[in-house]
Structure 1
Amino acid sequence: MRILISAGEASGEMYGAQLIEALRNCVARAPSPAGGQLEFFGVGGERMRAAGCETIVDAKDLAVVGITEILSHLPKIYSLFDKLITEADKRRPDLAIVIDSPAFNWRVARQMQKRGIPVVYYVCPQFWAWRQGRVRLLRKYVNKALVIFPFEEKFYRDRGVDATFVGHPLADLPKPEIRREEYAAQHGLDTAKIWITIMPGSRRKEVRMNLPTILEAVAQLGSAYEFLLPVAPTLDWGRMQNLIGTNGAIHLIPEALPALAHSRAGIIASGTATIEAALMGTPFVMVYRVSPLTYALGRPRVKVPCFAMVNLIAGKEVVPELVQAKFTAQNIL
């Protein structure tokens, strides 16, 4: 069975890798696999490649955010989209699975539907938060929606989408078992100091908008602290090193969960990282900034009172949210 799978950002790419491994395990356990061997190709990154997916388009090349930012990248995005669809026409997949990234993936879904290929949307767009009219795209181009928050199932079903709640993919991840001393030795950390995880985002534009203010806050904290910065797979390690400069208190880390598990607190950009911090039991402040034009165009469309998912689930602000003008070094501290 040949499956096109498209995940255009760091969190979706992680979910895609988990899904590929789970599907392979299901086939391996089946007494007489009806679909035979599974073949995956599409959009992804290092984790999906490690899971056995042939990436026609690298997720790094789609990692843009914001209305104005997307507009400047449109020619490149359309070129990558055409490359993916051309490959799909050659390979004729039996199924298409698209993960999050609605700006790119609903177009993938539309093209697959036109070709008679069934489409599953895993980790559906948060249309309940904004642009609710776009639910019609799911209704039209998606055969099955797999949602990760309980309230999403009713929201989509009430609007004619065949949706099923399957649980959040991060909920099954075990808490890292590595001891603090061993973790410190691996990454050159001082166990006598207080560790704080900083996560400015998984896209280059997010990092440019969020990291400078986070670094201002870091500079105001004393020598009693060390800072762990997990580098998302969609980001370049060397570029991140250049951005933090020679600040020896900041350590680049390959994985987020161990860093969060061993940190006293976190400064976390809005997104999946806030869920990771909550699951690890790490207190954090949520921060986020986009361009003034992107914010002015997008804010009136937002239908929910909070940005952080933990606050939305709780129905109140349980973690501070510092967005746009409120996002300052002083407010972080």
Structure 2
Amino acid sequence: MTASNPRIFLSAGEASGDQYGAELIAEVRRRLPEATFFGLGGTRMAEAGLERVVKAEDVAVMGITEVILHMPQIYREFRRLVGALKAGRPDVAVLIDFPDVNFRLARELKKLGVPVLYFVSPQLWAWKRRRLRWVQERVDRMMVIFPFEESFYRARGVDAEFVGHPLAELALPASLRDEYARRHGLRLLIEGPASNRKKEWIALLPGSRWKEVRLNLPTMIEAAELLGSGYEFLLPIASTLDRKEVQELVDELSDGSTPQITLVGDAREALFHARGSVVASGTATVQAAVIGNPFVVVYRVSNMTYRVAKRLVRYPAEIPAQEDAAGNLPVGMVNLIAGRRVVPELLQDRFTGKNVAETLAPLLADGPERSEMIAGLAQVRAKLLPALEGDGRRTAIQRVAEAVEELFVGVSSAVAG
């Protein structure tokens, strides 16, 4: 280890973490030009300069039963990461979400005496709260992206800081509607007698993992068929997915009654141009919220995962979650941030094509339902931004990079002393 050549380990196993990791690499390199990066990440992190010991797409699974089924492969890749850590001990480690792997990596890193910064807290405040002890023992700094998380962790003895949500800081996409339509072969107007009417688009976001797509997309396509040919549908492809496989699934699920479904590359751009959207619970719901796109939250997992999660999920006092008429707690992050039901949730058995179409339809028309949701989403976005400081507002990525630099300087000083 030298002060001029920091070696930084990063681990991110999901599409959102891949994006944040790529941005963090760029920002850390701006501060520490000689820094090198290795670890677990997706294609964006690789393009930014990460030496990938393990590819994120090789370990991205979901749910309890899914993790169990893939455990042998996950364990092999985990051992590769541990071997790389021992062979070339990093100066600092940054773990981004992905708790099933990252908490175990944090244990190995602490054994090696490597300071650990955790960015994007796993949802320990919802369930698996026993893992809080792992944070207390293995994590030096927790950088959180939801406002209630800072008070949750600090009350439990963890050095935590709310840095704001990176998605809330992004400017709206700059592309114009007609240019976007030309690029993706979309129609701008409804054909036929009503050809002077604008053709509306609806975004379908089934998730960033293949298992999520397999579970969520069929019902989304059923809803598309019920909503009818007056709409076209945009299907963004996450960096962790294979575009060809997704297109093959769409072709398999579609028939003569299915409206046009167009695969696109940028979820934010699709949400910006869409009239409304159907979004699988996860980071994409925050994307929709900060853009102000009215949407319905949906999700489906294995029955075992759902039963276990429903029994275990309990929110602390820091989250004023409202139960629905059936006594179900909300799972959509937008509703947790708001402290009330801003967007409707259709989960598991309630996630049907009919329910999605009927719930989304009022949000597509100009009226009180649409206006009320747009106003609620604007309030959520405001909560995701950190308070202004004397010199302005630093971005979340800048704050995390600053923390990485501080940890590295602290380690260097200790070694020099």
1:242 counterpart letter in structure 2 = E
Of all paired residues, the percent bearing the same amino acid is 53
Does residue 165 of structure 2 align to residue 168 of structure 1?
yes
CA distance in structure 2 between the aligned counterparts of 1:275 and 1:240, rounded to whole angstroms: 23
CA distance in structure 2 between the aligned counterparts of 1:169 and 1:114, rounded to whole angstroms: 31
Structure 1 residue ranges, 4+ long, deviating more than 6 angstroms after superposition = none
CA RMSD after TM alignment: 1.1
Selected match of 2:79 from 73, 79, 82: 82
- Look up the match of 2:23: 18
Selected match of 1:159 from 156, 159, 164: 156
Task: Report the CA distance between 1:290 and its aligned residue.
Answer: 0.6
Q: How does 1:252-263 map to 2 (within 5 A)?
A: 252-263=263-274
Does residue 212 of structure 2 align to residue 206 of structure 1?
yes
- Look up the match of 2:356: 332
Task: Report the CA distance between 1:248 and its aligned residue.
Answer: 6.3
- Look up the match of 1:314: 338
- Look up the match of 2:362: none
1:142 counterpart letter in structure 2 = V
Q: Deviations over 1:223-253 (max 9, x none)?
A: 1111000001111111000010066600000
- Look up the match of 1:278: 289
Q: How does 1:297-312 map to 2 (within 5 A)?
A: 297-304=308-315, 305-312=329-336
CA distance in structure 1 between the aligned counterparts of 2:145 and 2:314, rounded to whole angstroms: 19
Q: TM-score, normalised to structure 2's length? A: 0.76
- Look up the match of 2:174: 177
Task: Report the CA distance between 1:25 and its aligned residue.
Answer: 2.2
1:262 counterpart letter in structure 2 = H
Does residue 240 of structure 2 align to residue 234 of structure 1?
yes
Q: Secondary structure at the match of 2:355?
A: helix
Task: Report the CA distance between 1:50 and its aligned residue.
Answer: 1.5
CA distance in structure 2 between the aligned counterparts of 1:146 and 1:175, rounded to whole angstroms: 25
Q: TM-score, normalised to structure 1's length? A: 0.95
Larger radius of gyration: 2
Q: Secondary structure at the match of 1:266?
A: strand
Selected match of 1:141 from 138, 150, 158: 138
| Counterpart contact for 1:4–1:97, Cα < 8 Å | yes
Selected match of 1:113 from 110, 113, 123: 110
Q: Which has the higher contact order (CA 8 A, sep 6+)?
A: 2
Q: Deviations over 1:135-155 (max 9, x none)?
A: 100001111111111111110
| Counterpart contact for 1:9–1:62, Cα < 8 Å | no
Q: Secondary structure at the match of 1:278?
A: helix
Q: What residue ranges of structure 2 are gaps of 5+ in the alignment?
A: 1-5, 190-198, 316-328, 358-417
Task: Report the CA distance between 1:85 and its aligned residue.
Answer: 1.1
Task: Report the CA distance between 1:221 and its aligned residue.
Answer: 2.2
Aligned residue pairs, count: 325
CA distance in structure 1 between the aligned counterparts of 2:77 and 2:145, rounded to whole angstroms: 28
